[in-house]
Amino acid sequence: MLAGMSIDYYIRLERGNLSGASDSVLEALARALKLDDAETAHLFDLARAATSSPRVRRKRSPHTVRPSVQRVIDAITTAPAWVRNDRGDVLAANELGRALYLDMMKEGIAPPNSARFTFLNPKAREFFIDWERAADDVVAVLRSAAGKNPYDKDLTDLVGELSTRSEEFRTRWARHDVKYHRAGRKHLHHPIVGDLDLSYEAMELPADPGLRINVYTADPNTPSEDALKVLASWAATQRETTEASVKEKR
């Protein structure tokens, strides 16, 4: 009644038959159900997928970054920064970003993936102070990506792998929750510098659809700011030690 449609038509939509649904119908349904921006976008994505041919394949999520993008994040020296695609692959990072996600970067899988780390690496439960929330968020972001690009084989393969290997992931995936990952706070426990309370901003790259730069910062004059400085010093020392070792071998 609130959406201005018949019960039979609503039942048809609820069962997943969105083919032919107009934008005005979807907007009315979103208002009636009080969907947020991410949920509304997901509804429209599902409707587009229902009306497109299965033979149509969208571009896969990017697997590389342009050199100029790498230079941008390398120029950020006091905050962890990295570039990820829609399925959570970390395609590039600055020195402090690699140091912050130390355990994920050491997994030996290229490229590192935030969802795989969260659900398959036991160290993630120590790293994320609120692991349950982190797990909810990463699945909701993947569900949004799947709605936008349902024929992305890389994304489908990742979801299949995680569903097979993790009951926690499988349960969350079945909820169909969606979320944007644009800004917020992260509470982390780093193996080198301890607890960190950081703000994050995710910025899309218009020239590279599907890629985002994530940057973490600490509030001024806080223990977390001091901890990031210590982590930056540690990372620089590790780099210098490695470079010296390489020179000696030459």
Q: What angle do CA 214, 161, 137 make, to 5 degrees?
A: 35
Q: Answer whether 211's CB lies under 8 Å from 83's CB.
A: yes
> How far apart are the C-alpha atoms of 172 and 159, rounded to whole Å?
11
> How far apart are the C-alpha atoms of 212 and 86, rounded to whole Å?
8
CB atoms within 10 A of CB 25: 18
pTM above 0.85, yes or no: no
Which pLDDT score, from 0 to 100, does residue 2 have? 87
Q: What is the pLDDT of residues 189-231, one digit of tens each?
A: 999 999 999 999 999 999 998 899 999 999 999 999 999 999 9
When pLDDT is cut at 50, 70 and 90, the band that residue 105 belongs to is: very high
- Domains in the chain: ranges and CATH: 7-51 (no CATH), 67-247 (3.30.450.180)
Q: What is the pLDDT of residues 11-65, one digit of tens each?
A: 888 887 887 788 888 898 889 889 888 888 888 878 877 776 555 555 566 788 9
Q: Answer whether 146's CB lies under 8 Å from 58's CB.
A: no
